[in-house]
Amino acid sequence: MAATESSNPNSPNRAFPLDRTRNIGIAAHIDAGKTTTTERILFYTGMIHKIGEVHEGTTVTDWMEQERERGITITSAATTCSWLQRKEEGLYKAFEETKMRVNIIDTPGHVDFTAEVERSLRVLDGAVAVFCGVAGVQPQSETVWRQATKYGVPRIAFVNKMDRTGADFEAAVASMRSKLNANAWPILIPLGKEDTLQGQIDVINQKAIIYNDSDAMGSVYDVVDIPADLKDMAKAAYEDLVSQMCDLDEEIGMFYLEEKPITIQHLKAAIRRQTIANKFVPVVGGSAFKNKGVQTLVDAVVDYLPSPLDIAPAKGQNPDNGEPMEAVSNDNSKFCSLAFKLWSDPFVGKLVFFRVYSGKLSKGDTVYNPRTNKRERISRLIQIQADKREDIDTCYSGDIAAIVGIKNITTGDTLCDEDYPILLEPPSFPDPVISMAVEPKTKVDQEKMAVGLQRLAEEDPTFRVFTNEDTGQTIIAGMGELHLEIIRDRLLREFKVEANSGKPQIAFKETILTPSEGEGKLVKQSGGRGQYGHVICRATPNERGKGLTIANKVVGGTIPKEYIPAVEKGFKEAVLNGVVAGYPVIDVHVDIIDGSYHDVDSNEMAFKMAAIFALKDAMKKAKPILLEPIMKVENVTPEEFQGDIMGDLNRRRARIQGMETKGNLCTVNADVPLAEMFGYATAIRSLSKGRSSYSMEPSHFDQVPAQVLAAVQAEQKA
């Protein structure tokens, strides 16, 4: 990075030093209690003065009408608060108060809004993974965990809902170890469970935290000695924790070997080091809804999750020559940030949420976008403080803020100093799996609908809009039925456009099973200059997930070098429509092996067309197959409905992967084609009298059976 003006990374004007800043995300499966937990954190940090509830539609971070009606989170909400942390000296005797800045992003749980989790984790330093105390690790918990691992985000686990019937803290921790391969160990164990939940056992300090029932808000609690009947359990938990740290942490290991006393400060420092290194996951148990254990969770966030100084510098590259570059967390360095979310705010217009990695940004400064080579002046900066938007003059490294009114920007763009251009790696997003045709109810709304869909596509990287060239219809594509339903709802409420929609369509894909060769020739002679292109290629199946790869194996100049890019362009165009049913082709490797040219008549267009013919010819001979998206489905149902649910899944071409019975609830895991999952929520509601629940997430693509293939091909012809 450019030379810094000072060894101190903090600007003298910033309110909170970098080492006292935490950027965290709250992420989990549907209904694990993310929004409720966020709401409690905002209350206990003094940002809001009345606790909102999801079921009442009064929470701060679920502010969209659709979120409040459905009781779900749709868009990730960023908010800022400050926390007065108490540092113990000895055992809760003297306190040194330290004010901390905590930036929180509450993310959705539904798989349809997975992009919100992806982009949030890309810009966060740490995460709180919330688990349901009854269900433990659920499918979307696994997805979130994988996303956090991908971006190397350190985690704390919060086992929530310990007040619910059937809550089991030990089982939840065990499921983290077995299903997520997490090195998870309790630091705060729930004291009691279900309706006897009183508080927590602090494993490190060997104390009990008892919440005062006379205070419904959970603000009053006492730190007391552990009840006699739980002392052995607490001591065993402490010894397990120390033993883990001895194995993981060199410093604690040396203390143990040299038989030196391991103090609370030593143990906490070791837990912090190993959590930041992603080798350890501290586990906290409690109940956000019953206001028990959230304060100690925030203390754990401050104690064990990293500040911007504790993580590796953001990596990027020079936009001109592709050389690796870094953005170090330092206010005195050149400005560098990542725009991770766009949002149309009804009050202030277009908001661009961004995370500052280095330097600082003030009103009136000019930022540079290396993707577009454009400069823009910053006229207004906003920080989201709970449900208020607060204008700020400057934001510093490590901050998450929003710019108002910036143009020509998309999710994942880098905004930086023009003197130090750097391209940071943007978050990656999955491809849509479902599409449908939409049209406005009146011709007058045609233009309004186009503007609205374009605006929504800018905000959401997993939502696509395109026109079907054959039918002229507007097609919208997304991550699931709920996703597209919310898009249509937002069109109506925000853009006042009523839209009719067609039947949802599946995003099928095509691939090949065997290697084959193909030949393509374009010869046209109709007076004057003709067209001549001739390509011979070999197509072979590629590894799953590799996409289209191309290699030039031409020897002896049978195709001149200047036409090779045109041939590659032709191949890229050929795979957009396959030979089975016209769907995009994936995972194919193509070698250009031979061809011929004409001195006068050959040109780029002729070779592009010849390449298309050659690859189509090769694919026809290579046993082409149709692939369909398969979903990983988890269904939780009372035992008496298990047979009906299993029968229904089998009718839907499901492959049952496993079953697990816990109490009187049966969990069925299955891989089911997405095509068979339409209307599933309604079906299981009637089969189980409303008592079954399910969740699903994309798993992989698999070959379509013959009868389904025939139906798809017939539909394409129609």
Whether residues 300 and 322 fall in one domain:
no
Number of C-beta neighbours around residue 570 at 10 A: 26
CATH number at 532 reads: 3.30.230.10
Asked if residue 537 has pLDDT above 90, the reply is yes
Same domain, 335 and 402: yes
Is 312's pLDDT higher than 70?
yes
Instruction: Establish if 387 belongs to a structural domain.
Output: yes
- The share of the chain scoring above pLDDT 70, in percent, equals 87
pLDDT in tens, 29-53: 777 776 788 778 778 877 665 555 5
Q: What distance in Å separates the CA atoms of residue 447 and residue 224, rounded to the nearest whole number?
A: 66
Q: Model-level pTM?
A: 0.70
Q: What is the mean pLDDT of the chain?
A: 82
Most confident region among 307-316, 393-402, 618-627 by mean pLDDT = 618-627
Task: Look at residues 304, 337, 368 and tell me which one is the last residue of a structural domain.
Answer: 304
CATH number at residue 349: 2.40.30.10
Mean pLDDT over residues 160-168, rounded? Answer: 87
For residue 515, the model assigns a pLDDT of 94
- For 287-325, give one letter per residue: b (16+ CB within 10 A) or e: bbbbbbbbbbbbbbbbbbbbbbbbbebbebbebeeeeeb
**Are residues 656 and 607 both part of a single domain?**
no
Share of the chain above pLDDT 90, in %: 22
Tokens of 200: 């927590």
Q: Tens of pLDDT along 378-418?
A: 888 888 765 567 888 888 888 888 888 787 888 888 898 88
Task: Judge whether residue 90 has pLDDT over 50.
Answer: no
Q: What CATH number corresponds to the domain at position 647?
A: 3.30.70.240
Same domain for 503 and 521, yes or no, is no
Q: Could you tell me if residue 86 is inside a domain? A: yes
**Structure tokens, 335:** 């400005």
List, for residues 271-285, the tens digit of each pLDDT value: 999 999 999 999 999
Taking the alpha carbons of 403, 409, 414, 417 in that order, is the dihedral positive or negative?
negative
Look at residue 14 and tell me if it is in a domain: no
CATH number at residue 150: 3.40.50.300
Using the 3D structure, point to which of 368, 395, 424 is the last residue of a domain. 424
Structural domain containing residue 588: 510-622
Looking only at the bridges linking them, the beta strands covering 531-541 and 588-596 are antiparallel
CATH of the domain at 462: 3.30.70.870
Q: Which two tokens stand for residue 175?
A: 């499921």
Looking only at the bridges linking them, the beta strands covering 155-160 and 281-285 are: parallel
- Quote the CA–CA distance of 450 and 458 in Å, as a whole number: 12
Task: Mark whether 145 and 48 lie in a shared domain.
Answer: yes
The 10s digit of each residue's pLDDT in 505-523 is 788 899 999 999 999 999 9
**pLDDT band, very low/low/confident/very high, at 77 (cuts 50, 70, 90):** low
Domain end among 507, 538, 569: 507
Most confident of 241-255, 400-414, 603-617: 603-617
Residues 533 and 567 in one domain: yes
Do 607 and 660 sit in the same domain of this protein?
Answer: no
- pLDDT-derived band at 63, boundaries 50, 70, 90: very low
pLDDT tens track for 437-481: 888 888 788 888 888 888 888 877 788 888 876 667 788 888 777
Mean pLDDT value of segment 540-564: 90
* Residue 12 belongs to a domain: no
Output the pLDDT for position 271. Answer: 92
Quick check: is 9 in a domain? no
671 assigned to some structural domain: yes
Residue 2 belongs to a domain: no
User: What's the structural domain count of the chain?
Assistant: 5
Residue 132, pLDDT score: 87
Q: Which residue has the tokens 């026109």?
A: 467
Planar angle of CA 309, 311, 313, nearest 5 degrees: 85
| Pair 298, 385 in one domain | no
Given CA atoms 411, 353, 459, 679 in this order, what sign does their dihedral have? positive
pLDDT given for residue 374 in this prediction: 87
Assess contact for 74 and 112: CB atoms under 8 A. no
Q: What is the pLDDT of residue 1?
A: 40
Give 386 or 17, the one with higher predicted confidence.
17
Instruction: Give every CB contact of residue 271 below 8 A, 6+ residues apart in sequence.
Output: 187, 204, 241, 245, 280, 282, 303, 304
pLDDT at 71 exceeding the cut of 60: no
Q: Find the range with the poorest average confidence among 104-118, 224-238, 315-329, 699-713.
A: 104-118
Considering the domain architecture, whether residues 54 and 151 belong to the same structural domain is answered as yes
Residues 406, 339 share a domain: yes
Residue 15 resides in a domain: no
Considering the domain architecture, whether residues 601 and 683 belong to the same structural domain is answered as: no
Q: Are residues 241 and 156 in the same domain?
A: yes
